[in-house]
């Protein structure tokens, strides 16, 4: 009888143990189901936030709503702190819920993820930091809490990055608008219309490699006798170079009020601009040609600028022209004045180095090829019924499209008639 009772008791104990195991498994399953439901709910909240329009104006509000959702839906959560911090631990922003000293706290979770390794500012913090304190006691439950807080940190990082990218896009659009405005202003300063004098015509061509550039081409009537033509190239590209080019325009107009000689104009421009150019380690190359309508000749002076191209029936090639240092390279630079009587029909092309640079990929044959192209251009000008200046301008556009433009291109086209031609007769 005793053995029978012992077997019954053993069976009851095993049954009780099995019931306890089942109860624990059911509790774990219920807990897992509850955690799964919470995770799904928080994922829904995350997805809803990801669909919202987010900017720096409402970023903090959206973060507060996320923190609220986590604090309410995480059943064991007693304290939650989310912060945006610098690499040195400076807190740019924080959101806090609960009591960090709650007596039922049993577990602490700390998460830190990088927002942007290259930036560190209130608008682009280095880290998102999450500190959570919960009442979870079981090891399994504690382990399962980590993904919840990682999800919160990842969501906030995504919001910050969206704001950062949106802000960058906005800044880029604003910059593009400003650069477009600068381009329009610079184009207004370049002569658009052809200058027509009794025995000389001039046309400016300007092709910046960016929105704006450092090239400057212009022509100005000094008086009834003298007309000043100028082509300049400020070192560098973009907005800084364009500001220098605009400065040249103002300085030139001031200088020609008191002199017409191109060498004196260069000398005075160098003295005016040297201090500012030397501070920025910049320089300007320039060629000035002054047309004397009475003597029918050109006076030229060059400051580190490429030699002009002369096109006529007697000669095609570079026009020998003594040159000095570019403006801003020495305070004591001196410049030579060359005299060119106009004895035949022809053209003079004054350009910046961006034009011949289009063909430099032709290696050592570049100079010969350039001269051959100029000869062919002049032959076409002589034989074609089309306007010569328009032909040259058309050819420059073709070269630009065919080549890889890496520098600003400016071209001044001067077309002249011999003194023997009657006023108004075609060239």
In angstroms, the CA 413 to CA 349 distance is: 5
Average pLDDT over residues 134-148: 78
| Higher-confidence position of 159 and 380 | 159
For residue 49, the surrounding DSSP H or E stretch is helix 2-50
Whether residues 169 and 282 fall in one domain: no
What is the pLDDT averaged over residues 176-194? Answer: 77
Helix or strand or coil: residue 85?
strand
Q: How far apart are CA 207 and CA 411, in angstroms?
A: 9
Final residue of a domain: which of 164, 185, 206?
185
13 within domain boundaries = no
| Whether residue 316 has pLDDT greater than 50 | yes
Report the pLDDT value the prediction gives residue 403, as an integer from 0 to 100.
Answer: 60
| In a shared domain, residues 393 and 311 | yes
What is the model's pTM? 0.61
Say yes or no: 336 and 398 in one domain: yes
pLDDT of 350 reads 92
The domain in which residue 62 lies consists of 47-185
Helices marked H in 210-286 = 238-255, 262-279
Residue 83: per-residue pLDDT: 95
In a domain, 313, yes or no: yes
Q: Write the CATH number for 51.
A: 3.30.450
The answer to whether 163 and 59 have CB atoms below 8 angstroms apart is yes
Structural domain includes residue 103: yes
Average pLDDT score, the chain: 81
Confidence grade of residue 357 (pLDDT, cut at 50, 70, 90): low
List beta partners, residue 201: 196, 415
Q: With pLDDT > 90 as the criterion, what percentage of the chain qualifies?
A: 33
What is the pLDDT at residue 1? 59
The per-residue pLDDT for 363 is 40
Tell me: the pLDDT tens digits for 1-25? 566 555 556 666 665 666 666 666 6
Higher pLDDT: 363 or 299? It is 299
**Is residue 114 located within the same domain as residue 257?**
no
> Does 173 lie in the same domain as 64?
yes
CA distance 64 to 71: 10
Residues 115 and 102 in one domain: yes
Of 185, 209, 232, the residue that ends a domain is: 185
Instruction: Looking at the structure, tell me whether residues 237 and 324 fall in a common domain.
Output: yes
Q: Is the pLDDT of residue 289 over 80?
A: yes
Shared-domain flag, residues 282 and 407: yes
Asked whether residue 425 is domain-assigned, the answer is no
Asked whether residue 394 is domain-assigned, the answer is: yes
pLDDT at res. 312:
87
Residue 342: is its pLDDT beyond 50?
Answer: yes
Alpha carbon distance 139, 153 (integer Å) = 22
Residue 350 inside a domain? The answer is yes
Q: 185, 218, 241 — which closes off a domain?
A: 185
| 8 A C-beta contact, residue 70 and residue 42 | yes
pLDDT score of 143 more than 80: no
User: Quick one: 356 and 255 in the same domain?
Assistant: yes
Q: Are residues 291 and 364 in the same domain?
A: yes
244 and 390 in a common domain:
yes
Burial 37-72 (b: 16+ CB within 10 A, else e): ebeeebeebbeebeeeebeeeebeebbebbbebbbe
Q: Give the Cα separation of 80 and 74 in Å (integer).
A: 10
Q: Which of 32-41, 52-61, 133-142, 409-418 has the highest mean pLDDT?
A: 409-418
25 part of a folded domain: no
pLDDT of residue 129: 95
Could you tell me the pLDDT band of residue 364, with boundaries at 50, 70 and 90? very low
Stretch 246-261: mean pLDDT: 89
Residue 120 shares a structural domain with residue 226: no
Domain count, the chain: 2
Residue at 67 is within a domain: yes
In this predicted structure, what is the pLDDT of residue 212? Answer: 64
CATH of residue 347's domain is: 3.60.40.10
């Amino acid at each position: 009888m005793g053995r029978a009772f012992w077997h019954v008791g053993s069976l009851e104990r095993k049954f009780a143990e099995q019931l306890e195991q089942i109860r624990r498994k059911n509790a774990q399953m219920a807990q897992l189901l509850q955690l799964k439901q919470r995770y799904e709910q928080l994922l829904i909240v995350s997805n809803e936030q990801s669909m919202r329009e987010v900017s720096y104006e409402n970023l903090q509000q959206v973060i507060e709503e996320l923190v609220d959702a986590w604090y309410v839906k995480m059943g064991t959560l007693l304290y939650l702190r989310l912060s945006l911090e610098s690499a040195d631990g400076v807190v740019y922003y924080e959101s806090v819920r609960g009591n960090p000293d709650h007596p039922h706290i049993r577990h602490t979770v700390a998460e830190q993820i990088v927002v942007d390794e290259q930036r560190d500012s209130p608008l682009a913090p280095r880290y998102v930091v999450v500190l959570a304190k919960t009442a979870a006691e079981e090891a399994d439950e504690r382990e399962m809490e980590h993904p919840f807080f990682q999800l919160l940190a990842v969501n906030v990082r995504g919001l910050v990055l969206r704001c950062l990218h949106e802000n960058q896009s906005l800044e880029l659009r604003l910059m593009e608008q400003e650069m477009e405005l600068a381009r329009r202003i610079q184009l207004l300063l370049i002569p658009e219309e052809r200058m027509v004098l009794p025995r000389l015509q001039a046309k400016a061509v300007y092709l910046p490699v960016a929105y704006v550039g450092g090239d400057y081409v212009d022509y100005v009537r000094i008086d009834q006798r003298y007309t000043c033509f100028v082509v300049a190239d400020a070192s560098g590209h973009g907005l800084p170079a364009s500001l220098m080019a605009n400065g040249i325009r103002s300085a030139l107009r001031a200088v020609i009020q008191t002199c017409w000689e191109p060498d004196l104009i260069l000398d005075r421009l160098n003295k005016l601009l040297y201090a500012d150019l030397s501070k920025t380690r910049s320089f300007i190359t320039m060629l000035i040609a002054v047309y004397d309508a009475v003597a029918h000749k050109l006076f030229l002076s060059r400051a580190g600028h490429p030699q002009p191209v002369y096109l006529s029936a007697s000669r095609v090639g570079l026009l020998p022209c003594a040159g000095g240092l570019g403006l801003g390279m020495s305070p004591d630079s001196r410049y030579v004045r060359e005299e060119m009587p106009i004895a035949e029909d022809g053209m003079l092309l004054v350009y910046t180095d961006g034009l011949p640079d289009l063909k430099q990929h032709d290696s050592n044959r570049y100079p010969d090829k350039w001269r051959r192209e100029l000869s062919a251009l002049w032959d076409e000008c002589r034989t074609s019924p089309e306007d010569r200046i328009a032909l040259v301008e058309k050819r420059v556009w073709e070269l630009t499209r065919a080549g890889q433009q890496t520098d600003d291109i400016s071209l001044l086209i001067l077309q002249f008639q011999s003194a023997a031609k009657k006023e108004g007769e075609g060239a």
